Chains A and B, each alone.
Chain A
Amino acid sequence: MKKKWFVAMLSLFLIFALSACSSSGSGSSGGKVTVDVFQYKVEFKNQFAHLVSQYKKVHPNVTINVTTVGGGSDYGAALKSKFASGSEPAIYNIGGPQDLHDWKGKLADLSDTQAAKDALPGTLAGVTEGKVVYGLPYNEEGYGLLYNKDVFKKAGIDPASIKSSADLANVAAELDQKKAQLGIQAVFAFPVKEQWVTGLHSSNVFLSPEFGENVSNAYKSKTVSFKYGQQFKQYIDLQQKYSVQPTASMDYATQVEQLFSNGKVAMIQQGDWVSTTIQGIDKNFEKNNVGLLPIPIDGYKTDSIPVGVPMYWAVNSNKDANTIKAAKDFLDWMNTSSQGKSIVLNDFQFIPAYKGYDASKIQDSIAKEVYSYAQKKKTIGWIFMGYPTGWGMNTLGADIQQYTSGKMSWNALEKDAENAWKTNRGQ
């Protein structure tokens, strides 16, 4: 008899549990405002929580709930489910023109914020339509060829002497010859498995010129022509030839942690985001031993590195006016108030995308180099957010895997990628 009661209680409990899932949400009542933030950057979760608690001290009426879901495509999927479930966040992230198009109607106009006025020139290109700004940049990131300073010194190579792809090839050949005495396994670690490294970042270097380095042009373009395709091919060939093999199964962790951080290779193509990873393995190595080289494009720029904005903050226009106002105020406070700025610079360790920062305080060494390139205006614009959806990784990235395995010729690769672009944009 007792058992029966237990089961009845349990089923009742289950019914309650099921029905309890559907209440809670954000909004404003009685002067108190709740702002739900749904963001992608896992790396600065704790520091962001710190920023929120500081904001709370100045604005006791505003409650900010942060949810973090990390990592490229997962964020997009999670955000869609979040919207579908009915509990829409007030602040979320968009990546560029495609997101701008997809989320249109759920994006508030941010043109009147201080942050939009302070954003560095060019950083708003991907999220502006006409004169209306829909997103505010997180930060700036840059990448290029990271090199091991120690290895270069031992080999007697001056990194500043690399001024063309021929120079780069010579240096690679020289390092390859001396690899036993330098104690390296190979010159490069080329992670062909990571389609974002090849299909998005490498390709960006060689496709950016033909779109005038402007992400919106890439997004609007019906075709892609591989104007610097030969240079792109040489760059891929060079890395494939002098890399630790097999490249087709090499992932990010092997490239950055196992090989580069342990001094097993001389060069890798990565950006400032690897700093924390390298610091986790060897603090001194990160501080003293990592340099940044541009990827030379013969016939275009040979001394510049790609710098761009990885993600933007956006505000949900479906929310009520109070919540939108609070959300904008929070973003302004984070990016333009002196307290916010100091957290962005010192705790987030961001390369700021806004005016008025004391850049000499940037702490990590790769970020410092990226920033100095940006200061000298030796940059190439990021345009891969303007590729057709999935094109960079699933088409180009996969084709590069076929090319490096010898299953596809370079001409066929260019054809296939051009056709895929055309079909996608034709719709």
Chain B
Amino acid sequence: MSESLDLHLALAETELENPVLPYLRQDRIPHIWCPGCGIGTSVNCFCRALTDSGLDLDKVAIVSGIGCTGRTAGYLNLDSFHTTHGRAIPFATGLKLGNPDLNVVVYSGDGDLFAIGGNHFFHAARRNMDILVICVNNFTYGMTGGQVAPTTPVGPTQTTMPLGNFESPFNLPFIADACGATYVSRWTVYHVRQLAKAMKEALNKKGFRFIEVMSPCPTLYSRRNRLGDGVDQVKYYKENSVIKNGADTKDIGLGYQGEIVVGKFVDRERATWLESMNDHFSKVLGDQFKPYGGKPEGV
């Protein structure tokens, strides 16, 4: 039994129980994440957001792809789906349309959502599929050992860019904005209060919602590039972040160890895919159409 598990169990026995514990599958702890990794911090924020959201947790489902962040679904005590690499969004699309009563959250990494899964992100945002997508961006492929990602800034070394990355990275909020997301924000794992608040706000909003969470990968990104450990990265986030709510998303791309613009950039109303479908068919078909909204009939 690991030390962290002992500590965890000891904490669980005290009366001052960690408020996020009920949200975790405690029989799955310890988790796989490295010391200094920010994914756990983001999950902590998400649990707090769930508490504050007032949602019926039996109706919240979480869907992940593959990768370090992709393991999130398995640790949360919700209906949880660990799907295939890059395909969390289309699975979530099926889940949401299959039962529109569900509040469906996709929780995955930058490689999963924007490299192999990029196409699905664009189309789900274009359709305004009613899901919340949380992307933990650690600028690298952690699970496979630190390969270049579509978010890796120009400069740092990765195992498949051994002489330093020369490819331009994506600006994730700009993509989400351009594709039609109703809510777009970016925070780092230093900004725990703001991040939890943003998650709560996004959980209670309709449409395709996107939150980028900057997170250290000390094992395969920071240390390899002599940027220190997790704490050093969080210090960098603290010292270099600028809150610019409403900033134009085209101006907030991330450079290598440069300024980080955080905040809420987009918050708008747009009919969701299902609202559009119901509205359109009601107009065209009149009484022949019964708006679709509940769970499958007869079940």
Partners in one complex: no
What is A's interface to B at a CB cutoff of 8 Å?
Answer: none
What is B's interface to A at a CB cutoff of 8 Å?
Answer: none
